[in-house]
Amino acid sequence: MRKTTQVTTATTETASCIFCRIVRKEAPASIIYEDDKVIAFLDIRPLNEGHTLIIPKTHYETVYDIPEDQLSRIYKIVKRLAIVVKDATKADGITIIQQNGHAAGQEVFHLHVHIVPRYEGQTLPHFRDIPNASREQLEQAAKRIKQRLKS
């Protein structure tokens, strides 16, 4: 009985979860990296151009839920993409953020790591104050990052 309830909950969550929908290619995304366990795409409300999200393909809500080996897989890609995004955007620095729970500012309850290009002297606005980028802007930025990833 308990098992049935858990399965039902997980199915409902993943059906409506925007990041699970991106994984299943049901929702649009400007994807820069994908393997069997991990996918990375550009944030629709970028703090700066090249703002990237890296997620596990499996739905885990927070760092408390994800198995260590899966988290290690994610952070291997985070390191690789941090270098590539910094290079492609000519950023002075890179901020890596991973928020857990509403109090920490988490809006999407599918674990994700943000890679944010940073520039000297620039103060970042709050996440909530950023407008959506156009798909064309995101695709152009994604193209530049993917070119660096290949080289």
Interface residues with ligand AMP (CB under 6 A) are: 18, 27, 29, 43-45, 53, 99, 105-108, 127
- Distance between CA atoms of residues 25 and 29, nearest Å: 8
- Distance between CA atoms of residues 117 and 120, nearest Å: 11
Segment interacting with Zn ion (CB under 5 A) among 20-28, 38-46, 79-87, 125-133: 20-28
Q: Does position 110 bind Zn ion by CB under 5 A?
A: yes
* Minimum CB–partner distance for residue 54 and ligand AMP (Å): 12
Instruction: Pick one of Zn ion, ligand AMP, none as the site partner of residue 33 (Cβ within 5 to 8 A by kind).
Output: none
Output 6 or 123, the one with its CB closest to ligand AMP.
Answer: 123
DSSP codes joined into one string, 58-127: S---STTTS-HHHHHHHHHHHHHHHHHHHHHHT-SEEEEE---SGGGT--SSS--EEEEEE-TTPPPPPG
Active site residue 126: no
DSSP codes joined into one string, 37-61: SEEEEE-SS-SSTT-EEEEESS---
* Minimum CB–partner distance for residue 62 and Zn ion (Å): 12
Which of the residues are catalytic?
A: 112
Q: Site residues (CB under 5 A) for Zn ion?
A: 17, 19-20, 59, 110
